[in-house]
Structures are given as C-alpha cells and as structure tokens.
C-alpha cells in the first residue's frame, strides 16, 4: 500500500544518529557592540541571539562538517565504510571544486560512493535530506551521511549592523539508514526565483567576478520583506505537508524551524498555533547558521532528551533563492 508522499512497495529511511560541531571562538553581543553601532538589548529584542560561533582562520566548511559527521556516525554506531552516499548542504563551500561532499568523504575515509554538495541557501540540508531519503527508498543507497554546514562569517559584511549580528558558523549531521516503517515520511521542496533580489550576494564565479574582492559575496538582505514571505511560506508549507498525511497541527510533537531569528520562529509558531514549549529554539546560542541550523537544533534536542523515539517532528526552512522546504518524520 502506498505511503502518503511515497512510492508503493519501497522501503523507508530513518535517522540512526545525529551530531553537531561549533567552532571554539564565540562572538557575543557585547563583542558586536564594540564593532558596530548596536546594543545587546537591540540584538536580543530583534533577533533573540546572544552569541554565535566563528570559524578559525584556518577552518573551512569541511573542517566543521567532519567532526559533526563523526559524532553522527558514533551515535548511529556506524563506521565510515558503511556509508555509500554523502550529501552536504552549504552556501559556503571550501572551494568551487572539489565539492564539500568529496572533502568530507576523504577526511572520513568513506569508500568510493556518490558524494556531492547541495546549494539551496538555508534550505540546503532539507533538500539534501529529501535526496538521500529518496535514494534509500529506491535502494540506490544503504546508509547516507547528510550534513548541513556553513562558514557564514566569510560572507558577512561586518560593517553592516543589520546583517552582521545575525550569522554564525557551525555544522550538523545525520546518518540515515533503511527502515521497515516510515521514519522520514515525506518532504515538500519549493523555490521562486522571482524574489531573488531580497536575499542575495551581488557577485560570484561567473557573475560580476571582479567584485569578489570588494565584498561582492557578502549577504544583502531586505529584512522586512524576508520576514513576511518567510513566515507566510513556511506556515503554508507545513500545512500542506500535514494535509498530505491527513494530520492536524496537534499531531506535531516538535517543530524545528530554521533558526533565522526569534521573531520569525515565534511568528511561525503563532501561525501554526503551536505553544512555545513545542518549538525547538537554539538561535540564542549560535545565531543563524544557514543550512546547519536545523540539524544543529535537532541534535541538541535529541541529546538533551526532549526528542524521543516515536515522536513526530516537523522541520521547515526558508532561504535565499528564494527556496523553502518542509520535512515530516517519525523519529
């Protein structure tokens, strides 16, 4: 019998283990007060953030991804040679090529297999989870490592007080394995390039490359527009996914939204009529870590005992592109 959102007769996947890594250096709101015209009170009130972690000069995205992946492998009781698919969601790759997936594969000594990066801004990890889940369902992968990682400090304009208070660096990872019953139930992915100008950088490898050395990679954001579209889109996508499975909002044990800022998270919870105690909140500790924020929050809530086996988890994200995604799972 066909599972909602699935394909008849195919197996399922579930999360076997999670892990995270945050760089040692911490940048507090008080530190930012000395850098730009802002205050701890303003940052807390507007974003809910208290601190964020910054990669060391010698650390790139793969250097953050590897310890997070090791922690996930350990939690899953899985050795690297059992992994036959590596997917990394990131906006901040080490290099144009090789992709971060290949670098993680090499560092962990994972045998030859498909290894690639997925670039969908803050939604990249959920996009990657959907791909890995599909590969396991189809029997084209046995165990998958899916990582979300960002070194957003490298593309932050530290003179722009409207954005520099928001972003941090970090990585979160999961190991997926086959399951008899649905663990990952289904996903909804979306994008609308008509809104490209409200959250973007102005330069890249093949577009305005001359501006790369002049802050061209820095995040540029129209905050009010992003807020309105993010809340509306994520709320709608969650409702669509619940409707697909014949569930109401009360069926969600935990909501893990992209940790963009406290106001967006609170607005999503209010729109979905979910009490604060059922929304996982970690933005105060690491800021907006882009594609890493959901797997980071997931690992925190699993390891502190809030999320337990058998509970139903809704994950939802939104990022530049514009991209969005929601994923429903029975942990």
For the chain, report the end-to-end CA distance as a whole number of angstroms: 21
pLDDT of residue 8 exceeding 70, the answer is no
CA distance 200 to 98: 23
Of 1-15, 64-78, 158-172, 219-233, which range is least confident?
1-15
The H or E element that residue 72 is part of is helix 61-75
pLDDT of residue 244 exceeding 50, the answer is yes
- Give me the chain's average pLDDT, please: 93
CA distance 219 to 290: 12
Q: Find, among 121, 216, 195, 199, the residue nearest to 163 by Cα.
A: 199
What does each C-alpha distance from 321 to 78, 191, 200, 293 come to in angstroms?
Answer: 35, 7, 8, 17
CA distance 85 to 131: 10
CA distance 224 to 216: 22
* The one catalytic residue among 99, 122, 164, 261: 122
Would residue 122 show up in a list of annotated catalytic residues for this protein? yes
245's CB contacts (< 8 A; 6+ apart) are 4, 5, 185, 186, 328
Report the percentage of the chain scoring pLDDT > 70: 97
Would residue 258 show up in a list of annotated catalytic residues for this protein? yes
Would residue 288 show up in a list of annotated catalytic residues for this protein? yes
Predicted pLDDT of residue 217: 84
Predicted pLDDT of residue 10: 66
Q: Whole-prediction pTM value?
A: 0.94
What six digits make up the tokens of 75? 């939690």
Q: Find, among 72, 71, 31, the residue nearest to 49 by Cα.
A: 31
CA distance 131 to 29: 37
pLDDT of residue 206 exceeding 90, the answer is no
| Per-residue pLDDT tens over the stretch 103-149 | 999 999 999 999 999 999 999 999 999 999 999 999 999 999 999 99
- Work out whether strand 114-118 and strand 85-89 pair parallel, antiparallel, or are unpaired: parallel
**216 — pLDDT class (breaks 50, 70, 90):** confident
Contact 46, 261 (CB under 8 A): yes
Compute CA 164 distance to the chain's CA centroid, rounded to the nearest angstrom.
19
Phi-psi region of 287 (alpha: psi -120 to 50; beta: other; left: phi over 0): left
pLDDT of residue 6 exceeding 90, the answer is no
Q: Find, among 51, 56, 50, the residue nearest to 24 by Cα.
A: 56
To which residue do tokens 């409200």 refer? 198
Report the percentage of the chain scoring pLDDT > 90: 85
Predicted pLDDT of residue 1: 28
Query: Is 7 or 242 the better-scoring residue by pLDDT?
Result: 242
Contact 172, 298 (CB under 8 A): yes
* The one catalytic residue among 99, 258, 261, 286: 258
Of 30-34, 105-109, 205-209, 320-324, which range is least confident?
205-209
């Amino acid at each position: 019998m066909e599972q909602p959102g699935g394909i008849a007769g195919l197996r399922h996947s579930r999360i076997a283990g999670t892990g995270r890594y945050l760089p040692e250096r911490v940048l507090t709101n008080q530190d930012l007060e000395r850098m730009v015209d802002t205050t701890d009170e303003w940052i807390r009130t507007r974003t809910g953030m208290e601190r964020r972690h910054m990669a060391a000069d010698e650390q790139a995205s793969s250097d953050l991804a590897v310890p997070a992946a090791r922690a996930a492998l350990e939690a899953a009781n899985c050795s690297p040679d059992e992994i036959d698919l590596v997917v990394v969601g990131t906006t901040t790759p080490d290099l144009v090529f090789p992709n971060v997936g290949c670098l993680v594969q090499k560092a962990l000594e994972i045998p030859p297999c498909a290894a690639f990066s997925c670039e969908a801004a803050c939604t990249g990890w959920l996009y990657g989870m959907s791909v890995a889940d599909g590969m396991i369902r189809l029997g084209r992968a046995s165990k998958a490592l899916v990582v979300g990682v960002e070194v957003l400090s490298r593309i932050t304009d530290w003179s722009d007080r409207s954005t520099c208070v928001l972003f941090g660096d970090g990585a979160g990872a999961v190991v997926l394995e086959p399951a008899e019953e649905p663990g990952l139930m289904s996903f909804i992915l979306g994008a609308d390039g008509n809104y490209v100008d409200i959250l973007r950088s102005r330069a890249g490898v093949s577009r305005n490359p001359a501006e790369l050395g002049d802050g061209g990679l820095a995040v540029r954001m129209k905050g009010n527009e992003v807020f309105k579209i993010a809340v509306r889109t994520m709320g709608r996508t969650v409702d669509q996914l619940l409707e697909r499975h014949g569930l109401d909002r009360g069926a969600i044990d935990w909501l893990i939204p992209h940790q963009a800022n406290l106001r967006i998270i609170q607005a999503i919870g209010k729109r979905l009529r979910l009490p604060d105690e059922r929304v996982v909140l970690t933005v105060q500790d690491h800021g907006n870590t882009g594609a890493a924020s959901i797997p980071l929050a997931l690992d925190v809530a699993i390891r502190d005992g809030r999320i337990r086996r058998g509970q139903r988890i809704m994950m939802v994200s939104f990022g530049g592109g514009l991209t969005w995604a929601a994923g429903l799972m029975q942990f």
